[in-house]
Amino acid sequence: MKIAAVQMVSTTDAARNCAAAQRLVAAAARDGAQLVVLPEYFCLMGRNDRDKLAIAEAPGAGPIQQMLSQAAREHGVWLVGGTLPIRTADADRVLNSNCVCAPDGTLAARYDKIHLFRYDNGRERYDEGGSIQAGAEPMSIQAGALRVGLSVCYDLRFPELYRALMFTAGHPPCDLLSVPSAFTYTTGLAHWELLLRARAVENQCYVIAAAQGGLHENGRRTFGHSMVVDPWGEVVAVLAEGEGVVMAEVDPARIATVRMQLPALEHRRSFKSA
């Protein structure tokens, strides 16, 4: 299956961002992509953390979710819709939700980001917990021929989440891990590729990471480097910065060969803490 990671430099205007996302999904589909991933916060990079509250939608309703559904249906693709804010019972917090639409436009899954980013080096300060409510449940789906594990950005630093995705009761191990992101330039420069390749190697599957990549209207700089990594940890496609699409092919034979030659998934052990 051909897959595509969309890289954006999202603005403070949701309508403009949605139009850009539609255009990029269309471009990916024209080039043969059957599964397309948008980046985290594709619909809005606000001037402050609370801006997302103003565009938050009820589950299953609203213009952003409608746009995702329409784009998936129009182009006949599995669309992993980055993230958008979904309302909660707390008026001051939203869920940072990754909605996946099937090729017929129906909602196939929704994953709410579990791990919330916090960082302060004295010059840059971020705290997602101030406006976002953490999700609780790992989520994987069957997208055509691929079993896909869902995650978002800061989740990448928590390998136990990916182990849970790989070994969900009643399902085969994932073929692909999806990581829509908006890594800061500082943390991305240090750890982005390292972590993506580690997750691919640990789980012997493909990883697709659609990122925000550039200088945004709000002054924030994101790292970009949207990429696809194969089960041996090799980067097979990457886009450094700026808007664009990264394409690659998921080869089931490559997954099978890596798992046969080095059966690490079979060798795993569970350990109980004291």
All structural domains of the chain = 2-267 (3.60.110.10)
For the segment 128-137, the average pLDDT, to the nearest whole number, is: 96
Q: Residue 274 — pLDDT band, cuts 50, 70, 90?
A: low
Higher pLDDT residue, 272 or 241? 241
Residues with catalytic function: 40, 113, 153
Residues 143, 175: Cα–Cα separation, whole Å: 10
- On the question of pLDDT at 269 being above 90, the answer is no
Q: How crowded is residue 169: how many other Cβ atoms within 10 Å of its Cβ?
A: 4
pLDDT value, residue 169: 79
pLDDT, residue 116, reads 98
Give me the mean pLDDT over the 156-178 stretch.
95
pLDDT one-digit tens code per residue, 216-245: 999 999 999 999 999 999 999 999 999 999
Q: Provide the pLDDT confidence category of residue 85 given band limits of 50, 70 and 90.
A: very high
